[in-house]
Amino acid sequence: MKKPENAVKERRQINGNTLLLLITIGLFIVMYAVGCVIYAGKGFTHLQNFLNILITNAGLLCVACGMTCVMLTGGIDISVGALIAMDCMLLAVGMSEWGMNPILLCILVLVIGVVFGMFQGFCVGYLEIQPFIVSMAGMFFCRGMTAVISTDQVSVPSDSLFYTWANAKITIPFGGYYNKKGILQVPYIRVGVVIALAVLVIIFLVLRYTKFGRSLYAVGGSEQSAAMMGLDVKKTKMEAYVLSSFLCSIGGICYCLNTMAGSVSQATGLEMDAIASSVIGGTLLTGGVGNVIGSFFGVLINGTISSLVKTNGKLLSSWANIATAALLCFFIVLQSVFALLKDRKK
Amino acid sequence: MSRIRKITQMKLFLPVFCMILVMLINVIADVAMGKVPWSFFTISIKNGLLYGRIIDVLNRGSEVAILAIGMTLVVSASAGTDISVGSVMSLCACFCCMLLAGYGVSSTTSFAMPLIVGVLGCLLMGVLCGAFNGTLVAYLNVQPMVATLILYSAARAIGLLFCNNLIVYIRVPTSGLSIGYDIFGGYIGPIPTPIIIAAVCVAVMTIVLKKTAFGLSVQSVGINRKASRIAGLNSQRLILLCYIICGLCAGIAGLVASSRITSADANNIGLNYEMDAILAVALGGNSLGGGKFNLAGSIIGAYTIQAITTTMYNMGVSSAQAPVFKGIIVIIIVVIQAPPFKEFLAKQRAKRQQASGKEAASV
């Protein structure tokens, strides 16, 4: 008699949102497997190829984690791409022209992120201005400030401590392969990946087990109910934006570790990549539903698509954008269909 | 005091106030630079063409003004913004140039197809994009921002595919009676064509709003979708229609923008125009939460943005640095409009009145 009961319970646990997450994970695995089969000769099967996706998208992963937190409260933050450009420019110019200490610069970047987030959060939380407009103004401001710092393309000098960080390889003891010359290629990751994965784990734990994390979900689910439960809705919203901008600054450092340069047009459209990753990962823009694990897979899918297009070599790079958009469309339609079904059940 | 109150509470107060402020700044800047104070307003005719800074503002602001028409409707009906208009502009321009030059041709001096086919194709593409966005928003209940995010990232990429990753130049000048591709961004007689196109668009929309119940229905859908459906309005179809109009406006704007440079530069046409269009709507005193709208406000808002940009270029701010000021201006405007800020001001005023009352009593 026990067995059917368990089955019912399990079936109940897999609701629409979990199913979406499972579909995302499944899609990533399928996509990667297809890539492995088609481009086996071009090195797609090596562990390093997967790690490269992580290396190039370390910054995006940090940003997507922050974006997920903001989206959980029902808001949006489109200033992240411009903020990353400003961070990179500050790091590059700070090291090459002002001769500042990289550690000091990183702390400065993080502080700027927090202050910027506090301002945005104040406008959204306490002044009740639409998040889209506030972060749009933030985007204009940051993009312009990047140009105020410098309009040239500045690269990080090769003698700095930052350069050693960026070039540090953290090797992985397994998954190596011998290349054509018979030399063992040991897979490696960069510092940025470690930072990004640490951020991912911490945010996952924060969302799951802390009061702050739970209140983000509560505020996103229903502001009124959250307020009635005694939560400080305004403060929670503000904290979400501070967290987003802070994580974005960390992402900026990771991004700079990867590109080693600052330019005005850097990271344009990154905010949309981050939003797309979160949505593909099952986060709803209405708030209250979502998970950073989903966003992680969203970022991976994003990276896999561009990696596939790059490995092919013949396709125009715009196909990557189109594929991501098509996928986004698929998930959005799926989400709304689930929502419609839910409504009908009620 | 009460008269000032009355003026500040008028619908068009904010956009007109901003416009006047920008003009004042221009006058002050001109005086500071040792020019004639009213040089912003002077219009002259050089080589048979109208010339002057205000003409420049009207000319360059046409695209944003056209976009603002569609954006106002979308914001009003669906309480969300269409962030795809800039990309759709680029897509429409690329499609038009592909039709006129033929696929894979990067430069042409004669049309592969009659001009009218290209123009109609461009507008049709805009309508299609609008219909796609509208279907997602109206029938699948997707939030407008997410729905338009799809085309935001895809449209520009599809445009690149149409152009085969090239910049397509159409070097067919207007001479005599034969109309070239530069007509839409150039001049008809002494007047810049974009101004005429924008004026026609605004006029048509105004007539539609005045003569039909369309505007009223859109507002009622925006205020309460369910209630207006129960009252007998087809909310879904109305929202779809608003998005289609927005797409059409994006198509027209794309045509103008690409005709200005007589080419289809997929990566740069309409870049960040969606932000300007949304800003125009917000500047026009419209709530981004949907409901009541004011088209005149949006149009004035659009030209105000262009006036700000032109002023900044005139003062020697580089185009890359200009967004700093734009960002600050946006924040100031929305903070002034925010209800909590207004409440705060009202409280302060009440306190001051109380204090002065007490003083009067003690004296």
Distance between CA A100 and CA B255 in Å, rounded? 49
pLDDT per position as a tens digit, B114-142: 888 989 999 999 999 999 999 999 998 88
pTM (2 d.p.): 0.85
pLDDT per position as a tens digit, B80-100: 889 899 999 999 999 999 998
Determine the average pLDDT of the residues in A276-291. 84
Determine the average pLDDT of the residues in A324-332. 86
CB contact under 8 A, A322 and B330: no
* Cα of B288 to nearest chain A Cα, Å: 8
Give, in order, the Cα–Cα distances in Å from B251 to each of A170, B89, B125, B257, B263.
Answer: 51, 6, 7, 10, 15
Count of CB contacts below 8 A, A vs B?
A: 140
Q: Are A67 and A274 in contact (CB under 8 A)?
A: yes
Distance between CA A57 and CA A64 in Å, rounded? 10
Q: Residue A278 corresponds to which tokens in the numbers above?
A: 């979160």
* Cα of B54 to nearest chain A Cα, Å: 25
Q: Residue B108 corresponds to which tokens in the numbers above?
A: 């042409």
Q: Within 13 Å, how many C-alpha atoms sit on residue B144's CB side? A: 27
Residues 312 to 351 of B: which have CB under 8 A from any A CB? 318, 320-328, 330-331, 334-335, 338-341
* Contacts for B111 with CB less than 8 Å, ≥ 6 apart: B100, B118, B170, B172, B181
Residue B339 has pLDDT above 80, yes or no: no
CB contact under 8 A, A322 and B158: yes
pLDDT band at A1 (very low <50, low <70, confident <90, very high): very low
User: Hey, where are the domains in chain A?
Assistant: 45-336
The matching CATH number, chosen from 1.10.3470, 1.20.1070, 3.10.150, 2.60.40, for A45-336 is 1.10.3470
Identify which has the larger pLDDT, B172 or A29. Answer: A29
Residue A37 has pLDDT above 70, yes or no: yes
Identify which has the larger pLDDT, B189 or A258. Answer: A258
Please name which of A11, A24, A10 lies closest in space to residue A292, comparing C-alpha atoms: A24
Task: Count CB atoms within 10 A of the CB of residue A11.
Answer: 9
The C-alpha R_g of chain A, in whole angstroms, comes to: 21
CB contact under 8 A, B323 and A333: no
pLDDT of A120: 92
pLDDT of B43: 78
Identify which has the larger pLDDT, B337 or B253. Answer: B253
Give, in order, the Cα–Cα distances in Å from A91 to each of A97, A140, A153, A254.
Answer: 10, 20, 12, 11
pLDDT of A202: 93
pLDDT per position as a tens digit, B341-362: 878 888 888 888 888 877 776 6
Determine the average pLDDT of the residues in A60-70. 92
Nearest residue on chain B to A75, alpha-carbon basis: B145
CB contact under 8 A, B335 and A279: no
Considering all CA atoms of chain B, what is the largest pairwise distance in Å, rounded to the nearest integer?
88
pLDDT per position as a tens digit, A108-130: 999 999 999 999 999 988 888 88
Phi and psi torsions of B179, nearest 5°: -90, 125
For CA atoms B230, B233, B239, B240, give the dihedral sign.
Answer: positive
How much is the ipTM here?
A: 0.79
Tell me whether B141 touches chain A (CB under 8 Å).
yes
Q: Are B153 and A325 in contact (CB under 8 A)?
A: yes
